[in-house]
Amino acid sequence: MQDIADITPLVASLNPAQKEAVTAPPEHRLVLAGAGSGKTRVLVHRIAWLITVENVSPLSVLAVTFTNKAASEMRGRIEQLITVPIRSMWVGTFHGIAHRMLRLHWKEAGLVQNFQILDADDQVRLVKRVLKALDMSDEQWPPKAVTHWINAQKEEARRPQHMSDLGDYTQRQYVRVYTAYEEACTKSGVVDFAELLLRAFEITRDNPEIQAHYRRRFRHVLVDEFQDTNTLQYAWLKVLAGDTGTMFAVGDDDQSIYSWRGARVENMVRLEKDFPGTEVIRLEQNYRSTGTILKAANGLISKNTNRLGKNLWTDGGDGEQIQLYASYNEYDEAEFVANRARELLDGRCRYSDLAILYRSNAQSRVLEEILIRARIPYRIYGGLRFFERQEIKDALAYLRLLHNRDDDTSFERTVNTPARGIGATTMEKLREISRASGVSLWMAAKNASSQLGRSAGNMGQFLKLIDDLHAETRDLPLSKATELLIARTGLRDHYRKEKGEQAEARLENLDELISAARSFEVDPGAASAAENPDEPVLDPLTAFLTHAALESGEEQAGPGEDCVQLMTLHAAKGLEFPVVFIVGVENGLFPSARAIDEGNLEEERRLFYVGITRARRKLYLSYAEVRRVHGVEQIGAPSMFLKEVPAECVSETRPRAGILRPGFGAREPQSGYGGGYRGAGSGGGYGGSAAGRPLPRTVVAGSSGLGPGGFRLGQRVEHPKFGEGTILSFDGDGDRAQIEVKFRDAGTKRLVLGFANLRGL
DNA sequence: CTTATTGGGCTTTTT
DNA sequence: GCCCAATAAG
């Protein structure tokens, strides 16, 4: 029996709804947790409650998240809350848990014991090679699209052998690639991300012992970000829980922003049907944002239909109005952000209190440029991550090849990196041999070196290098082995010779890899402490490679200290900042042109909702009247979503009245915006003009888009040779003035205006 | 085989 | 406008 004192810290700090969720009897629950309503808190406290009050063993708990970050945060917070050791508890990502099962049951899953994981990049490369082997052209069958199709099939748990031929040629070809791709994976002993989930699902569904074992074990299944589960993940959860396990799912349909990668919000409704007795608990009290920000968010999201329904509230104050800034262009917009940032930083803000959110990554470039000039330190999230870097993947491919010679993906990557005289022709020959004899590239190279002509010697050296390295490293600790490999394969010299500061960074990354390997070396003292049949024992190399595949690591850009945070709206989900700037709030950008085209506005609206609710105290929105998109200046209109934000929440700022908008493309921003309208952001403007009413325009009639030669942007023109077209942009002035025209038949051309002989239509 | 050049493409992203 | 990948030239 637990005494009262034990449970106080578990519930004392919770509001009634949170308390209801945490202390609910062990039955199915769906927690609709609004933004900033303490979702993670409820999940963590629920697990702690089950263990300390309901006397549930940590072994009986399965807690699933989407990201490694969320999983480790959850584990850490539970550990802080209770004294019971939870080392044996399965807390992890869908993929991490699937992987764990497959390591334990590799035989039943039909895998080889030392299977490796293919990342998204590797997968596309492999699909590409399969396409080539099937004589299907890259053009007609874009590898990325084919890969996407294969993954979509896997997410619906469809195997090629189950797919009926509907007499559709395209379908037939797709199935052909899918089949060949699967064979290639099996032959190489690799699985892609979707395959991890699919195999784990299949053994849980089809293997009675495995099913019984996990159902007996996992009495409590808890899922975070439930609105992001895809069909396969849901099916797996269902088959895991069976009718003995209880589901505790936490999610927010209003924050469903990943339907394009397979997430199915409908799973929230299905849960209620599939798990009888599921009670829904709503968390609507928000602890993050001001009343004004919540009002804006609520107003916006109420325009969506098919919501499960929720209204955020706070018992805090209204706070400040949301500032909306109408900028001339993206440089002016960035200046506005930098100016406001500087003002805030003079006050009580640290750099890291500020976040700049945008719809697409391309928008970060201009912001970066301006922030550098303003000497404001920043950090961009969402670049290349550590284990995705070229040099790191090179080194890892060698490690994988040492581990398994039949790993063709790694063979292809390493064989001529660094260059050792094994070119495309040789590899083409080798692939043909391997295809014909049905063996891996490695075996083919071993057996048929005589058929490789002039490169046979080089190939022989490569094979020997791998064999020698294997012998030399087999008894070394992993970090030493990695170090030796990087030196002996010539990778280090290869990158040393590369010029530029990039090379420097690459060498540092290789060193970083060596020290990362060190943390996977077995520590003989701690290892055998608790041998659990439910914990796979991985050799250091496998553990290291798995870590690299499943946790691609923090992205390395910039110093980790006090910085302004730049990221996409998608990347911001789950985070919060005292001050948030959302830039580029324009039709065509946000909502994106494609979303408008396809009528997918609800998800874009949710994305805006996510963005707004990231802000604690201050929120700035901005849009540009003109923006360069894919190198072409485009006139934008404020986002349709702005009209949906209650007018009283917003006050609008404009560049100082009376200053004309600069002529389109008359000057490049560097020189153009420096003089004319610098400091526009801090200028007076006129507040109070609420979003929703027509926005006053400072444009002087007729000046809009007027370029050299009297032509206007978007004007229809005729060229003696190219025919009719539309003006896309102007560049420069005087004799050198250029004009970019999109012709109806001749494509887009850049012409010198003086010679173009254009006639306006 | 390496290096320079051209051409296409282009939301969002975790594992 | 920028980045990648596929081609052409060295």
Residue A676 pLDDT more than 50? no
Residue A590 pLDDT more than 90? yes
A347 with A366, same domain?
Answer: yes
Give the domain-ending residue among A188, A220, A241.
Answer: A188
Task: Name residue A307's amino acid.
Answer: R
Task: Judge whether A637 lies within some domain.
Answer: yes
Give the pLDDT band of residue A750 (cuts 50, 70, 90): low
Whether A603 sits among the annotated catalytic residues: the reply is no
Q: What is the pLDDT of residue A700?
A: 25
Give the pLDDT band of residue A622 (cuts 50, 70, 90): very high
A230 with A248, same domain?
Answer: yes
Give the domain-ending residue among A653, A677, A695.
Answer: A653
Helix (H) or strand (E) holding A759: strand A759-760
- Who contacts A508 (Cβ-Cβ below 8 Å, separation ≥6)? none
Residue A302 pLDDT more than 60? yes
Which is more confidently placed, A500 or A191?
A: A191
Task: Name residue A119's amino acid.
Answer: D
**CA of A729: nucleotide with nearest C1':** C1
- Report the domain count for chain A: 5
Q: What is the pLDDT of residue A681?
A: 30
State the burial class of residue A158 (Cβ atoms within 10 Å of its Cβ: 0-12, 13-18, 19+): middle
Residue numbers belonging to the annotated binding site of A for ATP = 33-40
A209 with A88, same domain?
Answer: yes
* E-strand stretches of A468-516: none
Contact between A322 and A356 (Cβ < 8 Å): no
pLDDT tens for each residue of A362-397: 999 999 999 999 999 999 988 788 898 889 999 999
Q: What is the pLDDT of residue A454?
A: 79
Task: Judge whether A296 lies within some domain.
Answer: no
Q: What is the pLDDT of residue A740?
A: 60
Half-sphere exposure (Cβ direction) of A641: Cα atoms closer than 13 Å: 34
A36 with A83, same domain?
Answer: yes
State the burial class of residue A450 (Cβ atoms within 10 Å of its Cβ: 0-12, 13-18, 19+): exposed
- We report the CATH number of the domain holding residue A430 as 1.10.486.10
Task: Judge whether A672 lies within some domain.
Answer: no
Q: What is the pLDDT of residue A555?
A: 57
CA–C1' gap, A497 and B2, in angstroms: 14
Calpha distance A273→A172 (Å, rounded): 36
Task: Judge whether A690 lies within some domain.
Answer: no
**Mean pLDDT, all residues of chain A:** 85
Task: Judge whether A168 lies within some domain.
Answer: yes
pTM, whole model, 2 decimals? 0.84
Which is more confidently placed, A615 or A139?
A: A615
Which of these ranges, A215-229, A429-443, A577-591, has the smallest mean pLDDT?
Answer: A429-443
Q: What is the pLDDT of residue A565?
A: 94
Please tell me whether any atom of strand C lies within 7 Å of the Cβ of A429: no
CA–C1' gap, A499 and B5, in angstroms: 20
Phi/psi of residue A732, nearest 5 degrees: 70, 180
Q: List the structure tokens of A27.
A: 């039955």
A101 with A213, same domain?
Answer: yes
Please name the residue ranges forming H helices in A632-680. 669-675
CA–C1' gap, A748 and B8, in angstroms: 13
A64 with A127, same domain?
Answer: no
Among A23, A40, A211, A285, the one annotated catalytic: A40
Q: What is the pLDDT of residue A662?
A: 40
pLDDT tens for each residue of A57-91: 999 999 999 999 999 999 999 999 999 999 999 99
CA–C1' gap, A504 and B3, in angstroms: 21
A208 with A184, same domain?
Answer: no
Give the pLDDT band of residue A682 (cuts 50, 70, 90): very low
Give the pLDDT band of residue A702 (cuts 50, 70, 90): very low
- We report the CATH number of the domain holding residue A135 as 1.10.10.160
Give the pLDDT band of residue A716 (cuts 50, 70, 90): low
Please tell me whether any atom of strand B lies within 7 Å of the Cβ of A426: yes
Q: What integer is the mean pLDDT of A618-644?
A: 93
Calpha distance A375→A338 (Å, rounded): 9
Residue A729 pLDDT more than 60? no
Residue A692 pLDDT more than 50? no
Q: What integer is the mean pLDDT of A338-361?
A: 93
pLDDT tens for each residue of A102-118: 999 999 999 999 999 99
Residue A452 pLDDT more than 70? yes
Please tell me whether any atom of strand C lies within 7 Å of the Cβ of A428: no
- Characterize the bridge pairing of strands A564-568 and A354-358: parallel
Residue A728 pLDDT more than 70? no
Q: What is the pLDDT of residue A272?
A: 94
Q: What integer is the mean pLDDT of A183-203?
A: 95
Residue A347 CB neighbour total at 10 angstroms: 6
Task: Judge whether A569 lies within some domain.
Answer: yes
A395 with A496, same domain?
Answer: yes
Residue A658 pLDDT more than 80? no
Task: Judge whether A237 lies within some domain.
Answer: yes
Please tell me whether any atom of strand C lies within 7 Å of the Cβ of A138: yes
Q: List the structure tokens of A692.
A: 């929703």
A98 with A154, same domain?
Answer: no
pLDDT tens for each residue of A230-247: 999 999 999 999 999 999
For strand B, give the nucleotides within 7 A of a protein CB. Answer: 1-2, 10-15
- Characterize the bridge pairing of strands A759-760 and A716-719: antiparallel
Please tell me whether any atom of strand C lies within 7 Å of the Cβ of A342: no
Q: What is the pLDDT of residue A428?
A: 85
Which of these ranges, A25-29, A474-478, A557-561, has the smallest mean pLDDT?
Answer: A557-561
**CA of A598: nucleotide with nearest C1':** B11
A391 with A483, same domain?
Answer: yes
Give the domain-ending residue among A499, A522, A545.
Answer: A522
Which is more confidently placed, A600 or A168?
A: A600
A208 with A89, same domain?
Answer: yes
Q: What is the pLDDT of residue A505?
A: 83
pLDDT winner (highest mean) among A174-178, A356-360, A592-596: A356-360
Q: Which domain holds residue A170?
A: 116-188
Please tell me whether any atom of strand C lies within 7 Å of the Cβ of A630: yes
Q: List the structure tokens of A493.
A: 């010299």
Which of these ranges, A178-187, A523-532, A602-611, A619-628, has the smallest mean pLDDT?
Answer: A523-532
Task: Judge whether A306 lies within some domain.
Answer: no
Calpha distance A82→A246 (Å, rounded): 22
**CA of A143: nucleotide with nearest C1':** C5
Percent of chain A at pLDDT exceeding 90: 63
A568 with A445, same domain?
Answer: no
Residue A735 pLDDT more than 60? no
- We report the CATH number of the domain holding residue A18 as 3.40.50.300
Whether A39 sits among the annotated catalytic residues: the reply is yes
- Who contacts A405 (Cβ-Cβ below 8 Å, separation ≥6)? A411, A440, A442, A443, A466
Calpha distance A65→A419 (Å, rounded): 42
Q: What integer is the mean pLDDT of A734-738?
A: 50
Whether A40 sits among the annotated catalytic residues: the reply is yes
